[in-house]
Amino acid sequence: MFEIIIAGNLDAYRTEAEIADDAGVRVAIVYEGPDGWHTEILDRRQELSSSAFNALIENAKETLSHYVNRRGENVPREMTMGALSLWLMLKDDGTAMGRKL
């Protein structure tokens, strides 16, 4: 069993989907950069050819696609870390972290 956790990466200026196993250990990170989608496998024990795991990665991409600043492009200047975090978490429905902005 896996879960998808959406997080703002303040160091890389992007929104990521972290895939964790049932023990809470991150096994992969999915993100979109200016050059396209990327998946970093952190636990090589995962079955990369597994259709279930591949579907989970596609689900992570679909979830991330609703975050308007996910690529971290054109970051507003002089933002505090808190403001940057909210900016990375802004969704296409006008919410960030479940709250309307």
Question: For the whole model, what pTM was predicted?
Answer: 0.89
pLDDT by 10s per residue, the chain, length 101: 889 999 999 999 999 999 998 899 999 999 999 999 999 999 877 655 588 888 999 999 999 999 999 999 999 989 999 999 999 999 999 998 888 87
Of 5, 3, 16, nearest to 71 by C-alpha is: 16
Give dist(CA 45, CA 13) in Å, integer: 28
The domain in which residue 69 lies consists of 2-100
C-alpha distance from residue 64 to each of 31, 48, 77 (Å): 8, 20, 23
Going 46 to 21 to 71 to 12, the CA torsion angle's sign is: negative
Please give the tally of structural domains in the chain: 1
